[in-house]
Amino acid sequence: MKAANQLTKELKAFAQKQEIDIFGISGVEIINAHARKGRRPMDLYPSAKSVLIFGCGMADPFSRGWVYNGKGGAYFSLTSSELENRKWKLMAFLRKAGYQSFGGEMHGGGMLESGLRMANIAESIGMGYIGKSNLLITDKYGPRQNLHFLATDAPLLPDTGKVENQCGNCRVCQTFCTSGAIMGDGYFHARQCEAVINCSPNKMHHTRYVNTDCDMCLRMCPKGKLQWEKEERQGTWFEKLEKVNKGEDK
């Protein structure tokens, strides 16, 4: 059996090869200490030693959106389906190495109801920081990524570290927030946001087949090396809002 440091190194290299470029390992202890009783890894997967937190950057605004599956009226997210695919690859890697994996539910249940957000677990192991928008901000994608998780009994070395909050005086997400949910002092009014995103007329693009929610906090955040195309904003009300924000004429 491989030593923990060798297995960790190989798993990270494998993840990179699978285009899982947001990847971190948390020990179960930290999650056990903060999650809801009955929904902790120790309750759900007693032999698990680590929880992998991994993400996919969103390629464009529509990959954040929800696509109609044409059957039961259900929508699925394109980025989520990419993540599901990556999860299977990680599970196969662990299985070949002689270990089990657990959880990884995509649509509720299990650790998703632990009361802990994956973004906060990611922050606690140095994958990024929680911005004023309450989103995980990473060096590569800013807030434009989705996260997923997988628990395993493999002996892996947990990540540690801290990325300092770099929001500074920026108030872009607060200014463009359509519900007033982002208070700017670190407080995030989740219900207020939900009231807007569950209201179809407020969705950015809404057809029978595709809809994307407000997501101005994703679109407008200046952080992240990989930005969605600026061209998308040109000639639209995004551009007008930006001009108003800068005190220019429409």
Position 23, amino acid = F
Closer CB to ligand SF4, 82 or 213, in the complex = 213
Long-range contact list for 233-240, CB < 8 A, 24+ apart? none
Instruction: Please state, in angstroms and as integers, the Cα–Cα distance from residue 46 to each residue in 26, 43, 138, 231, following that order.
Output: 15, 6, 31, 50
Q: Residue 59 CB, nearest distance to ligand SF4 (Å)?
A: 19
Instruction: Please state, in angstroms and as integers, the Cα–Cα distance from residue 20 to each residue in 12, 17, 36, 246, following that order.
Output: 9, 7, 28, 37
Return the residue of 32, 100, 178, 211 that touches ligand SF4, per CB under 6 A.
178
Q: How many CB atoms neighbour CB 146 within 10 A?
A: 21
d(CA 113, CA 110): 6
Asked if residue 226 binds ligand SF4 (CB under 6 A), the reply is: no
Asked if residue 177 binds ligand SF4 (CB under 6 A), the reply is: yes
Q: Residue 90 CB, nearest distance to ligand SF4 (Å)?
A: 29
Return the residue of 133, 138, 145, 146 that touches ligand SF4, per CB under 6 A.
133
Return the residue of 179, 183, 233, 238 that touches ligand SF4, per CB under 6 A.
179
Asked if residue 131 binds ligand SF4 (CB under 6 A), the reply is: yes
Asked if residue 170 binds ligand SF4 (CB under 6 A), the reply is: yes
Q: Residue 168 CB, nearest distance to ligand SF4 (Å)?
A: 8
Closer CB to ligand SF4, 171 or 233, in the complex = 171
Alpha helices in 38-180 (DSSP H): 41-44, 61-64, 78-96, 118-124, 172-176
Asked if residue 214 binds ligand SF4 (CB under 6 A), the reply is: yes
In contact, 186 and 135? CB cutoff 8 Å: no
Q: Residue 159 CB, nearest distance to ligand SF4 (Å)?
A: 22
Return the residue of 28, 122, 167, 204 that touches ligand SF4, per CB under 6 A.
167
Q: Residue 6 CB, nearest distance to ligand SF4 (Å)?
A: 37
d(CA 190, CA 188): 6
Q: Residue 84 CB, nearest distance to ligand SF4 (Å)?
A: 23
d(CA 190, CA 160): 28
Asked if residue 215 binds ligand SF4 (CB under 6 A), the reply is: yes
Q: CA 44, 37, 181, 145: dihedral to nearest 10 degrees?
A: -20
Q: Residue 19 CB, nearest distance to ligand SF4 (Å)?
A: 24
Asked if residue 172 binds ligand SF4 (CB under 6 A), the reply is: yes
Asked if residue 196 binds ligand SF4 (CB under 6 A), the reply is: yes
Q: How many CB atoms neighbour CB 160 within 10 A?
A: 13
Chain-centre distance for alpha carbon 93: 22
Task: List contacts with ligand SF4 (CB under 6 A).
Answer: 131-133, 137, 167, 170-173, 177-179, 181-182, 193, 196-197, 213-217, 221, 223
